[in-house]
A and B are shown apart, each in its own frame.
Chain A
């Protein structure tokens, strides 16, 4: 199966399988071997502080966990489902209500057992971040990843 950008295809199919990401409304907008961007449009259901309309930190946590986890898939030579070990977030400034947020993720080190990632959430200017995070993922090996899941993400199941 030939795809114009296999990284984007893989990332898109992976995020499509995560129910809660669909409930929130995440969309992968850019993917390459080095980085990945997911957009999340503003939605009043995401609000954590009713006085200000600012979205809840948990929405950012979910967005960053997803962006880093999806980046891990694109950073590995073979498909592996890697559980998150930990996540450390700095909430640098409140997100501006009414505007999309973007998560830009990178995997800066892939070791034998662990993948180290970082992610910045911004609203159009990456130099004005809303949040920064580092997250580590445990490699469990491609043999422990269910084949059906792998085929769906890789787009090799003959279907979508």
Chain B
């Protein structure tokens, strides 16, 4: 089945796991998610293949960025019933503290502004407590028409 059909079916059933399963990069880093009504929390389980700095050890900052960016795209698809994958235009990421290896990382997204063609999303990522964010990011996406 092509991706757009998988997505369409997910919008109809409200079950988005097949959408995540169809995205190779989401599987490579191990992204998971859970929905609570309209809220979604994304999870990046501890995985030694995601480590950058071996001394701390810490999750590679790029993986944290990729996880947050993927979370934002999925969040938008779920929130907007988007017919296709939104295209990222830019991404601004602040690293607040090291994301430790041996721990899961979580992310939550908020659509700040959605126009007809572009959406502005902020993403927060944490490990132990939501208040102690490991990274915060802002992204613009072009929406599929």
Which A positions have Cβ atoms within 8 angstroms of B?
A: 17-21, 23, 44-51, 55-59, 61-66, 81, 83-91, 94, 146, 149
Contact = CB atoms under 8 A, between A and B. Distances in A.
A138 B4 CA distance: 42
Interface stretch (B9-17, B45-53, B112-120, B124-132): B45-53
A88 B51 contact: no
A149 B50 CA distance: 19
B24 A47 contact: yes
A50 B23 contact: yes
12 contacts: A48-B24, A48-B73, A50-B22, A51-B2, A56-B66, A62-B63, A65-B61, A66-B62, A87-B92, A89-B92, A91-B90, A94-B87
Interface of B: 2-4, 22-25, 27-29, 48-55, 60-63, 65-67, 69-70, 73, 84-85, 87-95, 98
Contact of A48 (B25, B55, B93): B25
B108 to A, nearest CB: 17
A148 to B, nearest CB: 8
Nearest to B59: A20
Nearest to B31: A58
A75 B4 CA distance: 46
Contacts of B2: 50-51
Contact of B55 (A44, A84, A85, A146): A146
Contact of B91 (A18, A50, A59, A89): A89
